[in-house]
Structure formats: structure tokens, C-alpha cells
């Protein structure tokens, strides 16, 4: 039985690759030879020319947020715009919550 594929992303190239997941093996981007980031199987890449979406994705990935499927469906809420990211980061600073937890909140209190 074949293993399921998962997504890997190269942020400098703005490229996404679906490859089999086999543990700790590090993946290298075929374009720039930089390491790829494992983002999960529920990831949908933005268009390459959508720089705002890639900046948002970069903030999420650098905060440790990934796109893994849960038992009941997808990865849950993820901000899609820089404005949503800024709102959640401001909330995290005010409340003292970690950025990774504040970024995945659907509604900011």
C-alpha cells in the first residue's frame, strides 16, 4: 500500500510540493536547494504571484502553525490575510498568549 503524500513548501521560491512523508528525512527545494518546510497534508498553496498570501503563510510557518488534518476534518481556522494576522498578533501581545495559539483563533476577543 502506498503512503499518503503531504505538502512541503519553499518560502523563497513560493513553491509547494506533494511528497510521501517518511519521518525525519529533510527535503531540499529542487529550484534553490534550500530546505523545504513540512506543512501538512491539508495545505492548499496560494498562487505564486500572490505575495500577500505568501507573507501571511510565512508568518504562520515561522510561528510553528502547520496544516495537519484532524480526526474530524481539516486543520481548523488559519488567517488568510495580513490584516487578520496583525489582529491576532496584537491580541497575543495584549493577552500574553503565545503567537501560535493566537494565530489559529477564529474570532479575536
Residue 87 pLDDT more than 60? yes
- The mean pLDDT of the chain is 89
Residue 75 placed within a domain: yes
Task: Report the percentage of the chain scoring pLDDT > 90.
Answer: 61
This prediction's pTM: 0.84
Residue 23 placed within a domain: yes
Residue 93 placed within a domain: yes
More confident residue, 76 or 18: 18
Q: Which helix (H) or strand (E) holds 16?
A: strand 15-20
Residue 82 placed within a domain: yes
Structurally, how many domains does the chain consist of?
Answer: 1
Q: For strand 37-40 and strand 5-10, is the pairing parallel, antiparallel, or unpaired?
A: antiparallel
Residue 68 placed within a domain: yes
Domain that holds residue 84: 5-103
Residue 23 pLDDT more than 80? no
Residue 108 placed within a domain: no
Calpha distance 67→28 (Å, rounded): 20
Calpha distance 31→29 (Å, rounded): 5
Residue 74 pLDDT more than 60? yes
Calpha distance 34→14 (Å, rounded): 12
The stretches of the chain forming alpha helices (DSSP H) are 51-62, 82-95, 99-103
Residue 109 placed within a domain: no
Residue 99 placed within a domain: yes
Amino acid at each position: 500500500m502506498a503512503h499518503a503524500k503531504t505538502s512541503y513548501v519553499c518560502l523563497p521560491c513560493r513553491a509547494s510540493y506533494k511528497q510521501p512523508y517518511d519521518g525525519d528525512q529533510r527535503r531540499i527545494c529542487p529550484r534553490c536547494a534550500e530546505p523545504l518546510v513540512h506543512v501538512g497534508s491539508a495545505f492548499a498553496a496560494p498562487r505564486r504571484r500572490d505575495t500577500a498570501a505568501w507573507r501571511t503563510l510565512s508568518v504562520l510557518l515561522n510561528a510553528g502553525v502547520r496544516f495537519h488534518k484532524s480526526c474530524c476534518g481539516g486543520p481548523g481556522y488559519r488567517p488568510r490575510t495580513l490584516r487578520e494576522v496583525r489582529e491576532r498578533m496584537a491580541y497575543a501581545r495584549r493577552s500574553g498568549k503565545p503567537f501560535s495559539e493566537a494565530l489559529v483563533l477564529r474570532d479575536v476577543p
